[in-house]
Amino acid sequence: MAAPAYVEVAAMTGTVVWRVTRVVLLLLFGAFFLLPMLALLDFSTTDLISGDRTLAPWRTVTEDPAVTAAIRTSLELALITVVGMVVLLVPTMIWVRLRVPWATRLVEFLCLLPITIPALVIVVGLTNVYAWVDYLVGDSPLTLGFIYVVLVLPFSYRAIDASLSAIDSVTLAEAARSLGAGWFTVIVRVILPNIVPGVLGAAFVSIALVLGEFTIASLLHFDTLPVVLVLLQKSDANAATAAALGSIIFAAALLVGLSLFDRRRSTVGGNS
């Protein structure tokens, strides 16, 4: 009887140790992420001359026309990039996996290629192309969406590929086809709902990249949020810090929102 009791005590001890370790690790990770944000909040609400607390930098972020225009431009670019990435990448990956699996390595190579090319080289190579783009559609910062769709391919590909690998897409497609579904129905109504977590992850990565990309936008002389923040830092460091903290909070809130959406969707699907 001693051996089972010893095993039970050891299991309980291991469970307690694991719970304590998990709490400690969560606290450490929380401090690692929250302390820099608290420092940003402290700096953005401190008057550098008098040392008093002030919300003037935050009002600058919401009232300065250049900053608000840059925020609107970056959000529009994020939307364009996400839509372009989903329309281009998701049907292609599903079609390749179902119909031409031998081309999987080729598509993977093409999608991962942009991560191996420095942003400066990409800008130099696309300068002449953008001269024609500006001539056809005008000198708009939204044309950066073409480049950003290419830049997010390596990260989006991995997220979507992980979701596709977790399901038996071939069996699902064959079952749907045997019931008379066309390829559009197979892709949109059968495969896509099963890879929503991967698509959401790819969308979040795309938005984060657009909100943080500086090199290409600055070299092409477009005023996106990162470019305006760098320019604003030279004249008003507090306002630049407030805008940077606001973008971090927005990205974090977006990540939480996507996670809650995916969890709610999984719960509803499980109940049904």
Tens of pLDDT, residues 178-206: 888 888 888 888 888 888 888 888 888 88
For the chain, where are the alpha helices, taking DSSP H only? 2-44, 56-63, 65-99, 104-112, 119-137, 144-151, 153-165, 169-178, 183-185, 196-212, 215-219, 225-235, 237-271
CA geometry: angle 141, 226, 49, nearest 5 deg: 135
Sign, CA torsion 156/177/171/190: positive
pLDDT in tens, 113-150: 888 888 778 777 777 777 777 667 667 788 888 889 98
In whole angstroms, what separates CA 51 from the centre of its chain?
36
pLDDT for 1 equals: 46
Whether pTM exceeds 0.85: no
Instruction: Report mean pLDDT in 10-residue bins for the chain, 272 residues.
Output: 56 72 86 85 80 79 83 89 91 88 88 83 76 71 86 90 87 86 84 87 87 85 85 81 83 75 59 52
